[in-house]
A and B are shown apart, each in its own frame.
Chain A
Amino acid sequence: MTYIVRRLLLLIPVLIGVTILTFVITRAAGDPTLSYLQNPDRASPQAIEEIREKYHLDEPIYIQYVYWVNGLLHGDLGYTHSANNLPVTTAIAMKFPATFELAIMSTILSVLGGIYLGTISAVRVNSPLDQSTRVLSLTAVSIPVFWLGLILLMVFYNQLGWLPGPTGRYDTVQYNLSDLHPIIGFKTNFLLIDTVLSGNASFFWDVVLHLVLPSVTLAFASTAIIIRMMRSSMLEVLNAEYVRTARSKGLPERVVIKKHARRNALIPTTTVIGLSFGGLLGGAVLTETVFNWPGLGQWAANAARSLDTAGILGFTLLTAMIYVLANLVVDIVYAYLDPRVRLG
């Protein structure tokens, strides 16, 4: 418990630092009034004056920071001009499910693939299979995500026609979001859930097909990282005394690997899994752009291109929060799984 409290306290300076950093970036971008105006082109001089008044933009920079943070704490980050001039918080809430659905799918893929491949590489260490996994995982972290996405599209959409093209989360011609009427009375905006709750099987299948390529693309790099971690911690564990004991008891090798070795090797691997979930957001910017995925990443890329400061910073702050929280969760889970950490 003290460990968790200590970790939470350590978060405070980091979060303050992140807000200072993003604040500095905002102010470097030029006139801060723009991001508080819903329609900068049609803003009256009075409206501009009101905003300067409200956020104390005529006062010294540190006072401006205080008012900016105050706005931030009240969910007021201005308007994002690259997403229909919506308030930033509304835009985030709207686009979050698409990204989250994608991130979850690709995490599932990379965790399953990474643990499986990492385990067999370690069990058959230095075999041709191990060597090729090593080269494959080095290749996977070296591939540009956006290029991989394009190549997958080229093969599976252009050439083979097995999977849908880059049309976002579903076939917009054939289906419509307003056709969905989930039995729980409201939409979760997670299409996999909404389509099931509406009992629309063909829509559900369409959503699944649209998820395949983006989530494989996004999963590639983190799978490689999980493989490496799993392999090295498996190797360490396989040399441990208790594994030898388990073997000398006459347990079948399968049981030794699955129950005695792999469970313990998973402990360090959880760290990487948690961290790579945070890192997925970086990959999401590129992946979503390739696949026209209407999520946070695509919005961030559009915001960066059109110099929509409010959008860029909303996204940057959000990823920092998620990243920091993912780190925290990882540390806590790690401390729970491995009691030795708590003492350190």
Chain B
Amino acid sequence: MTSKTGSKKPAAASKTPSPLMVALAPRIRELKFYFHLMAKSATSIAGVALIAFLVFLAAFPFLFAAARGIDPYVIPKDWYEPDPQAPSLDGYLFGSGENGQDIYYGIVWGARISMAFAIQIVGVSVIIGTVFGLVSGYKGGAIDEVMMRTTDIFLSIPSLILVMAIAAVMGRDLNSTKLALLAIWWSGYTRLVRGQVLSIKENTYVDAARASGSGELKIMFRHILPNSWAPVVVSATMDMGTVVLVMAGLSYLGLGAPYGYAEWGVMIQAGQEHFVDGAWWMTVFPGLAILMFVLAFNLMGDGLRDILDPKMRR
């Protein structure tokens, strides 16, 4: 929305638009078109709305559940009630776990854990993968060969299993899960960017840039990169969810977040113990939270794919 108003105001205020605005105009027009397409799809709107809510929740969890204890990520216990209590409006909204652990508190702070985790993993992986992919695709030759055989190795083992193996030997906590994911997640983006670069670098405008004396770095980052980001954006959006699925899975297996932590996977694992007592809320709510988180990013990624793929939109 800001870009929409931003594009109109300067043009109306002065007769001669600034060179910056002239340069930006086509981009802004394109962006407006994206918004227009996005707004037409109900599912992507739902995704964006959910993500907006989750980002807000992750940024300001204390507005929803006041931080308690030394470490706010550890679900506080009240010790009065050792057995799980059913959800109620005047007690625990989403019920309680062992020793009065508030499930609602865990869900709220778990959003922050998941969001931070996903942003870190996907952010770093995209940066590393983009640089590697650019260099690999642009340079070709031996560098490309080595890079591609390396990604082959990482991509030849299902990610959950490789992360599990690495995390297991590094120690059973969330940090080693994070490092393990970082160690492998870049490889997918490297492949993706490289593929894009290979086709883009054959374009005449790249030749033109080279002929006019542009340096290699400038060609890579100014001419090739901006034209290869579309699939990366789609993939990164969906990976935000996938990464959280892997994290929750490992925590469920007892390899990620420790017991009592406001992490959704480990909360489900704790709930499983009370399954037979009928304490369904301990399992159901954290799982719904994961589902909502992952689905939000998948809905948005799905919408973005339709928009960014010109073959499908016109």
Contacts and interface: CB of A to CB of B under 8 A. Distances in A.
Contact of A289 (B169, B253, B275, B286): B253
A125 interface: no
A25 interface: yes
Contact of B43 (A134, A141, A283, A313): A134
SS class of chain A's interface: helix, strand, loop or mixed?
helix
Interface in B248-288: 248-249, 252-255, 265, 268, 271-272, 275-276, 278, 280, 283-284, 286-287
A307 B298 contact: no
B149 A14 contact: yes
B265 A144 contact: yes
A14 B172 CA distance: 29
A69 interface: no
Contacts of B43: 134-135, 138
Given A286-B249, A304-B165, A312-B165, A319 B295 contact: no
B116 to A, nearest CB: 19
A106 to B, nearest CB: 15
B300 to A, nearest CB: 10
Given A147-B283, A154-B280, A309-B169, A300 B164 contact: yes
B152 A13 contact: yes
A316 B298 CA distance: 28
Interface in A304-344: 304-305, 307, 309, 312-313, 315-316, 319-320, 323-324, 327
A217 to B, nearest CB: 13
Given A151-B283, A158-B275, A146 B268 contact: yes
Nearest to A281: B158
A268 interface: no
Nearest to B293: A142
B157 interface: yes
A300 B8 CA distance: 59
Contacts of B160: 282-283, 285-286
Given A134-B43, A286-B252, A289-B253, A300 B161 contact: yes
A308 to B, nearest CB: 9
A184 interface: no
Contacts of A20: 153
A145 B291 CA distance: 10
B25 interface: no
A316 B157 contact: yes
Contacts of A25: 165-166, 169
Residue with the greatest number of chain B CB neighbours at <10 A, chosen from A17, A22, A30: A17
Contacts of B284: 151, 154
Contact of B299 (A26, A138, A286, A316): A138
A278 B253 contact: no
A138 B159 CA distance: 20
Contact of A301 (B253, B276, B298): B253
A40 interface: no
Interface string B108-126: 0000000000000000000
A98 to B, nearest CB: 17
B161 A316 contact: yes
Contacts, number: 146
Given A142-B298, A282-B159, A289-B253, A13 B164 contact: no
A155 to B, nearest CB: 10
A312 B169 contact: yes
B291 A143 contact: yes
Given A316-B157, A316-B162, A142 B255 contact: no
Nearest to A26: B169
A29 B158 contact: no
A26 B165 CA distance: 9
B268 A147 contact: yes
B158 A147 contact: no
Given A25-B166, A281-B158, A18 B248 contact: no
Residue with the greatest number of chain A CB neighbours at <10 A, chosen from B172, B241, B249, B302: B249
A70 interface: no
Interface string B97-139: 0000000000000000000000000000000000000000000
Given A17-B150, A135-B43, A319 B157 contact: yes
A21 interface: yes
Interface string A207-240: 0000000000000000000000000000000000
B307 interface: no
B241 A142 contact: yes
25 contacts: A13-B149, A13-B152, A17-B150, A18-B156, A25-B165, A138-B298, A141-B294, A144-B245, A144-B291, A147-B291, A151-B283, A151-B284, A154-B275, A154-B280, A278-B158, A281-B158, A281-B161, A285-B161, A286-B252, A305-B172, A309-B169, A312-B168, A315-B165, A320-B156, A323-B158
Given A21-B153, A285-B164, 13 more contacts: A18-B157, A28-B170, A30-B169, A144-B265, A145-B249, A146-B249, A154-B275, A282-B161, A286-B252, A289-B253, A304-B165, A316-B157, A316-B162
Please name the 10 residue pairs, one residue from A and one from B, whose CB atoms are nearest each other, closest first.
A147-B287, A17-B153, A282-B158, A142-B294, A29-B169, A304-B168, A142-B295, A282-B160, A320-B157, A316-B165
